[in-house]
């Protein structure tokens, strides 16, 4: 089948991202971290238990899978073909609250101005980069 014969994205109707699957060293510790730091809650635990352990908010979730014993860490960095980061959207007030919360927990972050949005970036205990972003910013003078 040639490229011109492939169905277009308009033929698929999606509602959004359901979950992102992450590999973690310690499932229980990761669940606790995501609950404490981001306020995510356990879902589907009565059915799946810890494989995968699901945490989420609204219609978005993270599926936390254990790294198999003895598996080598593939590494981090821009040269590794992997997810670069996971971004969560927040209101302007929640964005400010998140910064205060991370500071209180001693979690360092960097802030970036993307012109149409402001973001903060930080890492979970497994090294996954996370972003909290808000599009609720004051219009720029022109």
pLDDT in tens, the chain (142 residues): 555 566 565 788 989 999 999 999 999 999 999 999 999 999 999 999 989 999 999 999 999 999 887 776 666 555 656 788 999 999 999 999 999 999 999 999 999 999 999 999 999 999 999 999 999 997 766 5
- The domain spans of the chain are 16-68, 83-142
Residue 98 Rama label (left phi>0; alpha psi -120 to 50; beta): alpha
According to CATH, the superfamily of the domain at 83-142 is 2,3-Dihydroxybiphenyl 1,2-Dioxygenase, domain 1 (3.10.180.10)
Record the pTM: 0.84
Residue 7's pLDDT is 59
Do 135 and 87 contact (CB within 8 A), yes or no?
A: no
Rounded Cα–Cα distance for residues 28 and 53 (Å): 8
Fold of 16-68: 2,3-Dihydroxybiphenyl 1,2-Dioxygenase; domain 1 (3.10.180)
């Amino acid at each position: 089948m040639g490229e011109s014969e492939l169905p277009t994205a308009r033929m698929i109707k999606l509602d959004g991202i359901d979950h992102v699957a992450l590999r973690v060293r310690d499932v229980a510790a990761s669940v606790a971290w995501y609950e404490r730091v981001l306020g995510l809650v356990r879902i589907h635990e009565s059915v799946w238990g810890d494989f995968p352990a699901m945490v989420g908010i609204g219609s978005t979730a993270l599926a936390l899978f254990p790294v198999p014993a003895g598996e080598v860490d593939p590494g981090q960095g821009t040269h590794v073909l992997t997810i670069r980061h996971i971004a969560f959207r927040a209101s302007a007030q929640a964005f400010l609250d998140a910064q205060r919360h991370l500071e209180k927990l001693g979690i360092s972050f960097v802030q970036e101005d993307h012109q149409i949005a402001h973001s903060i970036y930080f890492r979970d205990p497994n090294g996954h980069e996370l972003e909290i972003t808000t599009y609720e910013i004051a219009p720029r003078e022109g």
